[in-house]
Amino acid sequence: MALTGDHLTEFGQLKELERAKRELNKMKLERDVAKQERDATIQEFNTATQKLEEAFDTIDSLKKSIALLESELAKSQK
């Protein structure tokens, strides 16, 4: 059976469709990787923020302890 012009056109369209499908799958994969990277970055940011908050809480606690010690020292020197 000989291929006609219509068959060749359909074959070309099928090849183009397959190429487009591969490209779409590649783009979906790239999107998924970008989402994973974004999620990891958000998690790192949240972890860093939590550590910063803990550090500020520690600083506040130390300031209160120092103030209490200074007060006790002042009382003992009177």
pLDDT tens digits for the chain (78 residues)? 555 667 668 878 899 999 999 999 999 999 999 999 999 999 999 999 999 999 999 999 999 999 999 999 999 987
The whole-number pLDDT of residue 78 equals 75
Q: Is the pTM of the predicted complex or chain greater than 0.85?
A: no
In this prediction, residue 3 carries a pLDDT of 58
Q: Which sign does the torsion angle of CA 42, 43, 47, 53 carry?
A: positive
